[in-house]
């Protein structure tokens, strides 16, 4: 609903003075409605994020065993190369994962087209589950591998999301 952020500095420096000057000249104060939306979202952020992370974990575990999937990138999987780092630094592994499919970009496009619950869009962190082929979004010079599909897990039932992904993989 709203996008916001903040800049925090440890001590007053020349850099923090420049930031303050930009705020004074350009503005850095959200509207009352933006403040309302921020407060409304913050109140339910923790349970929403917990549910999204639990769903993402379940989805990652299922996809990691699917024969059409070459690899799953998700720090909550014990097979992820940075799993130990994740456990030291983070409380939850996040609601975003990516999968590499056998067969390259063409299979990725068919996979995405066959999904019915996932919305094909470039965004993250919303309440709806999104799917995208990042390399085609970024263009010809994309550093993203052509066999990669990114998933941003929303608040839908994880069993329904998994079923949709599996039926789409079977149809590829």
pTM value is 0.83
Is 106 in contact with 114 (CB distance < 8 Å)? Answer: no
Beta bridge partners of 150: 98, 132
The strand ranges marked E within the chain are: 69-73, 96-101, 119-120, 130-132, 148-152
Whole-number Å distance between alpha carbons of 167 and 172 = 9
pLDDT tens, position by position, 100-150? 999 999 999 999 999 999 999 887 767 899 999 999 988 889 899 999 999
> Taking 90 as the threshold, does the pLDDT of residue 3 lie above it?
no
Report the distance separating Cα 103 and Cα 120, nearest Å: 20
Q: What percent of the chain has pLDDT over 90?
A: 67
Q: Give me the percent of the chain exceeding a pLDDT of 70.
A: 99
Write out the E strands in 11-94. 69-73
Cα first-last separation, the chain: 34
């Amino acid at each position: 609903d709203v996008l916001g952020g903040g800049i925090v500095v440890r001590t007053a420096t020349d850099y923090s003075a420049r930031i303050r000057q930009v705020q004074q000249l350009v503005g850095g104060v959200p509207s009352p409605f933006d403040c309302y939306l921020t407060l409304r979202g913050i109140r339910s952020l923790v349970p929403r994020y917990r549910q999204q992370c639990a769903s993402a974990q379940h989805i990652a575990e299922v996809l990691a065993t699917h024969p059409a999937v070459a690899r799953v990138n998700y720090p909550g999987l014990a097979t992820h190369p940075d799993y130990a780092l994740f456990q030291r630094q983070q409380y939850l592994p996040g609601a975003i994962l990516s999968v590499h499919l056998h067969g390259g970009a063409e299979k990725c496009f068919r996979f995405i087209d066959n999904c019915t619950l996932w919305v094909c869009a470039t965004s993250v962190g919303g309440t709806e589950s999104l799917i995208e082929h990042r390399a085609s979004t970024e263009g010809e010079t994309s550093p993203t591998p052509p066999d990669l599909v990114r998933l941003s897990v929303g608040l839908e039932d994880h069993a329904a999301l998994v079923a949709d992904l599996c039926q789409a993989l079977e149809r590829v």
